[in-house]
Amino acid sequence: MATTQTLPLTRAQSRDIDRVAIQEFGFSSLVLMENAASGAARFLQSRYLADGGILIVCGAGNNGGDGLVMARHLYNAGLPVAVLLMAAGGGRLCYECQANWQIVKKTRLSHRTLSPNTSPIAFSHQWDEAVESAVSEVGPITWVVDAVLGTGANGPLRHPVDMLVRKMQTIPAAQRMALDLPTGWDCDRGPSGADVFRATITYTFVAPKISFQHPSACEYLGEIIVGEIGIPPEVLAKCMA
């Protein structure tokens, strides 16, 4: 489930690992996502104390797809989990995120969308209503999982992602988990602006990222867990050469 891997990766190297695994070794991107997110789900399950609901907040890209897969595995295990997807009606999703969103919509897993095309006031109301509905279905939220932006993001957060991060922080959760890295944390440089998700646990894929050496890493990343995604060592060797 989790391994000790000390070699830090840059954004470019993280991208290359996916590219080489898919294009040269024949992996499916959906298989890599399944491997990564199912490991994250098993980790959270190992820490879960049956003390409330799990809220997974997803973006429209691969990080959001990871969150959807994670939610499905937790749901299959019988845990109280709810998903909030920030994309109008499920549109404008990357291929992997769209594929997993279609699966989630066919289940009874609590799921709702947040439209990014709204004013700050309207978005705030959307969030409050969605969280209230989630609580009514899965109970008080004691885990918040950040699956909004991953290693490909850079630069300060813009509306409504900046507001989304602030909203996630207002939930009095016992634990806040980031998938791969916290939203607002640059893979290469660290904090990208004023709004950064403050995780108590960061479940990162393949290896730590180079920015985890930043002086403020502990403040934003919390405990760091490195999870496997099922790729052979030859992929890493080729990308790190």
pLDDT 10s digits, 22-62: 999 999 999 999 999 999 999 999 999 878 999 999 999 99
C-beta of residue 32 within 8 angstroms of C-beta of residue 229 = yes
Q: Is 122 left (phi over 0), alpha (psi -120 to 50) or beta?
A: alpha
Instruction: Compute the mean pLDDT over every residue in the chain, rounded to the nearest whole number.
Output: 92
Per-residue pLDDT band at 90 (split at 50, 70, 90): very low
Q: Is the pLDDT of residue 66 over 80?
A: yes
Per-residue pLDDT, 173: 74
**How far apart, in Å, are the Cα atoms of 240 and each of 16, 86, 127, 208?**
9, 34, 41, 14
Extract the tokens encoding 203: 């479940």
Q: Is the pLDDT of residue 85 over 50?
A: yes
DSSP strands (E only) in the chain: 53-58, 81-86, 110-114, 141-147, 175-179, 185-186, 190-191, 201-205, 223-227
- Residue 156 is given by DSSP the state S
The structural domains of the chain, ordered by start, are 11-240 (3.40.50.10260)
Q: Quote the percentage of the chain above a pLDDT of 90.
A: 81
**How far apart, in Å, are the Cα atoms of 136 and each of 31, 37, 74?**
33, 26, 18
How many helices and strands (H and E) does the chain possess?
8, 9
Q: What is the DSSP string of 189-239?
A: TEE-SS-----SEEEEESS-BGGGGSTTHHHHH-EEEEE--S--HHHHHHH
Higher pLDDT, 168 or 90: 168
Per-residue pLDDT, 240: 81
CA dist., res. 150 & res. 106, Å (int): 26
Per-residue pLDDT band at 102 (split at 50, 70, 90): very high
Per-residue pLDDT, 88: 56
- Can you tell me the mean pLDDT for 206-223? 95
In this structure, the strands spanning 81-86 and 141-147 are: unpaired
Identify which of 200, 137, 136 has the alpha carbon closest to the alpha carbon of residue 168. Answer: 200
Q: Which pLDDT tens digit goes with each residue over 108-139?
A: 999 999 988 888 999 999 999 999 999 999 99
**Amino acid making up residue 26:** G
Per-residue pLDDT, 215: 94
Length of the chain: 241
According to DSSP, the residues that pair with 114 across neighbouring strands are: 86
CA dist., res. 204 & res. 150, Å (int): 10
Q: Quote the percentage of the chain above a pLDDT of 70.
A: 96
Q: Kindly give, in sequence order, each residue whose CB lies less than 8 Å from that of residue 164, ignoring residues fewer than 6 positions away.
A: 57, 86, 114, 123, 127, 148, 183
Dihedral sign for Cα atoms in the order 90, 147, 122, 196: negative
Q: Is the pLDDT of residue 140 over 60?
A: yes
CA dist., res. 92 & res. 109, Å (int): 21
